[in-house]
Structure 1
Amino acid sequence: MRHSHASLLLKRGINPKVIQERLGHSTIGITLNLYSHLTPGMQEEASNMINDLFADKRTPPKTGEVSE
């Protein structure tokens, strides 16, 4: 039950510190070492999030217009 509880919370993006406290681990390292391997898409999600933050979603200026 503890393993499922932690795994599901991590998968839903709950802060690992919250999970640590819920499970009663003395350090965040214990929680992350035991459970973070269960979410293989985390690196891709982080990469996509950063790409989205820095992507220029604005329409390029038309010829003759000045961009900000």
Structure 2
Amino acid sequence: MTIHGFRHTHTSLLFEAGATIKEVQDRLGHSNSKTTLDIYTHVTKKAKHDAANRFAKFMGK
């Protein structure tokens, strides 16, 4: 994995850990949060699982 690959992974893990977009944007040094969201965020398997669980809970299951 390249250094840049680690940067993408680090970003995704920050979001998974609950960091806000502004916190991650600042940490990466981006002047625009759109760059952070469009290029550096990736949906992990855990994030997909957590989203499904939140929806199931919302639906009362």
**Superposition TM-score tier, normalisation by shorter sequence:** 0.5 to 0.7
What is the percent sequence identity of the aligned residues?
Answer: 34
The one-character-per-residue Cα deviations of 1:25-59 (angstroms, maximum 9, x if unpaired) are 12222111222225244233222112113316xxx
Q: Size of the alignment, in residue pairs? A: 56
Cα-Cα RMSD: 2.6
Residues in 1 aligned to 2:45 and 2:16: alpha-carbon distance in whole angstroms: 10
Instruction: Give the aligned partner of residue 29 of structure 2.
Output: 24
Residues in 2 aligned to 1:49 and 1:23: alpha-carbon distance in whole angstroms: 28
User: TM-score, normalising length from structure 1?
Assistant: 0.54
- Larger relative contact order (CA 8 Å, sep ≥ 6): 2
Q: Which runs of 5+ in 2 are unaligned?
A: none
Q: Which runs of 5+ in 1 are unaligned?
A: 57-68
Instruction: Give the aligned partner of residue 49 of structure 1.
Output: 54
Query: Between Structure 1 and Structure 2, whose CA radius of gyration is higher?
Result: 1
